[in-house]
Amino acid sequence: MPKTYMLAPAVSFSSSERDAVYKAIFTRRDVRDQFLPDPVPGDVLRRLLQAAHHAPSVGFMQPWNFITIRSQSVRDQIADAFGRANDEAVKLFPEERQSKYKSLKLEGIRKAPLNICITCDRNRSGEVVLGKTHNSSMDLYSTVCAVQNLWLAARAEGIGMGWVSIFRDADLKSILDIPERIEIVAYLCLGYVDELYEQPELEVKGWNRRLPLDDLIFEERWQDET
């Protein structure tokens, strides 16, 4: 006999539910410094990780792991590793931008009561994975979807989140005992906040601006930018 599969109705969201989703998207911010010291309760953290774990993944491979970090001493080690990398990073920018770069506060590692490192196990589903046969990066892209789910869930919970990317992988792997074969995708700082920038902080502080959406939409095929 053929197998039967359980299906649920594709019910549309109510207008208030829809608006809540868009509110989370449009008011999400990369928080660097505004964290409060209040701890993130265990049940809230569980909801955030469940949201991340329900992200789409190509071939349903679910390649992610989540390392939660609360220890001040561990966060201090990671902050030191970030500081070394940040000193290197500033020198890569033109001299006229270096002072603005240095003015950006990046204190989340020490200030946020919770840090999470999200990794990708690129061997979890074996050598041949549905959907990954012609693009080997799909496991990495899937893990980034987990980061986005976590970010939006955090926003809905009133929790700020910042993504730290300025570090050497070898330093982070050494501190957190991450095996060499595992890829680090995101190091995140989380904590409650009582205020957020109305616009992205880097836009407010003149580092960059949001591009007009219409300039990024092509019809049918690629169009050279003018």
What is the DSSP secondary-structure string of 142-188?
Answer: HHHHHHHHHHHHHHHTTEEEEEE--S-HHHHHHHHT--TTSEEEEEE
User: What pLDDT shows up at residue 206?
Assistant: 87
Instruction: Kindly state the percentage of the chain with pLDDT values over 90.
Output: 79
* Ramachandran angles phi, psi of 108, nearest 5°: -65, -35
User: What pLDDT shows up at residue 1?
Assistant: 67
Cβ neighbors of 117 (< 8 A, separation 6 or more) are 66, 67, 69, 172, 176, 178, 184, 186, 187, 188
Question: Which residues in the chain show pLDDT less than 70?
Answer: 1, 225-226
Identify the CATH class of 30-195: alpha beta
User: What pLDDT shows up at residue 226?
Assistant: 61
Question: How far is the C-alpha of 123 from the C-alpha of 105, rounded, in Å?
Answer: 37
Residue ranges of domains in the chain: 30-195
**How crowded is the C-beta side of 109, counted as CA atoms within 13 Å?**
20
Closest CA to 140 of 159, 124, 161: 124
User: Do residues 186 and 154 make contact, with C-beta atoms less than 8 angstroms apart?
Assistant: no
Q: In what order do the strands lie in the sheet with 64-69?
A: 64-69, 114-120, 183-192, 159-164
pTM: 0.93
User: What pLDDT shows up at residue 126?
Assistant: 87
